[in-house]
Amino acid sequence: MSNGLQVTRAQSLRTRNTFGIDVTTPLALRIGDPARLPEALAMTPDALVLGGGSNLLLVAAPDAVLELANDDITVVAENSDHVDVRCGAGAVWHDFVMATLQRGWSGLENLSLIPGTVGASPIQNIGAYGVEVMERITAVDAWDRQDACWLRFDAADCAFTYRDSRFKHEPDRYVVTSVDFRLDRQPRLRLDYAGIREELATMAIAEPTANDVAAAVIRIRRRKLPDPAVIGNAGSFFKNPIVAAGIADALRSEHADLPVFPAGPDDRRKLSAAWLIDRCGWKGHRDGDAGVSAGHALVLVNHGGASGAQLLDLARRIAASVQARFGVAIEPEPRIIGAKW
């Protein structure tokens, strides 16, 4: 990489998106030094910022892509209780989580094995097993394409909500370059979600550490979710819908086994999208090379040659069937490039 900026023409993105969709972008830029970002964007102002490609559905090829390669981890403040850590946006998320645990810092263990990069984590407000990354983010540094300036957002300015943020609402405006996290020196483990205690019991661990929780989460995820290296997918394709408590209660009165979870301080409830989709008969469904995982109804899969348009059509039909049967709207988690939902 020359002086922190590498330019490639006509680059295939098949290996740069976890769905494995075969499209080619005319121009790809890779930046090792975020200071070169304004220069790169001057070359191609509308470039798609590409991290791990794990939260994208490429229906059409972007005119240009931009990748940040900075992955440094820096301690910016610390005391006996916690440590404030800054990580470059280009770091692989799971590698960052493992690095924090190796250094004795806890707080991200429930988010182990989530695909993608650190820079993408605040955009999506990634979450798993009872933890959302917004609980640990203290600040986000970004370049503002619209006003051509560097900005630093504290956590409140990020407007985090469930699988959402201000960055997601303006996806073409901000380029995240680093993220600050506050992590604990003494673990405060979260064990009450989605089988973590049961997995620890299977592992014969009675008094778990943060590393043990990470290991349990990794085991669960590998068992439940298909490996993108084996079959193309973007993990959970649909968000769990959040509805009024009255709607949730009415559905539970008809379907006693519907999983329902609290959703914030107001009178709202989160429903299991996987359960809704499964009840509509989609698990294991296949149309050509576009399908739904046989192991998890939330996961759309590319069996080899599916296009983004074919996967999008399947997703729309799934959502329509859930709406028709249960009266509940479900929406995609991945960003759709080249089409509207």
CA–centroid distance for 318 within its chain: 21
Residues β-bridged to residue 291 = 286, 301
- Of 16, 86, 145, 163, the active-site residue reads 163
Q: How many domains does the chain have?
A: 3
Verify whether residue 106 is a known catalytic residue.
no
Residue 163 lies in a domain: yes
The boundaries of the domain holding residue 261 are 232-337
Same domain, 79 and 180: yes
Residue 4 Rama label (left phi>0; alpha psi -120 to 50; beta): left
SS3 state at 243: strand
Report the CATH number at residue 314.
Answer: 3.90.78.10
- CB-hemisphere CA count at 13 Å for 112? 23
List the Cα angle 299/302/308 in 5-degree steps: 100
Same domain, 77 and 12: no
Same domain, 317 and 237: yes
Verify whether residue 236 is a known catalytic residue.
yes
Q: pLDDT in tens for each of the 341 residues of the chain?
A: 445 889 999 999 999 999 999 999 999 999 999 999 999 999 899 999 999 999 999 999 999 999 999 999 999 999 999 999 999 999 999 999 999 999 999 999 999 999 999 999 999 999 999 999 999 999 999 999 999 999 999 999 999 998 899 999 998 999 999 999 999 999 999 998 879 999 999 999 999 999 999 999 999 999 988 999 899 999 999 999 999 999 999 999 999 999 999 887 778 999 999 999 999 999 999 999 999 999 999 999 999 999 999 999 999 999 999 999 999 999 999 999 999 99
- Of 67, 109, 132, 333, the active-site residue reads 333
Report the CATH number at residue 159.
Answer: 3.30.465.10
Same domain, 49 and 84: no
Same domain, 265 and 322: yes
Q: What amino acid is encoded at 77 in this protein?
A: A
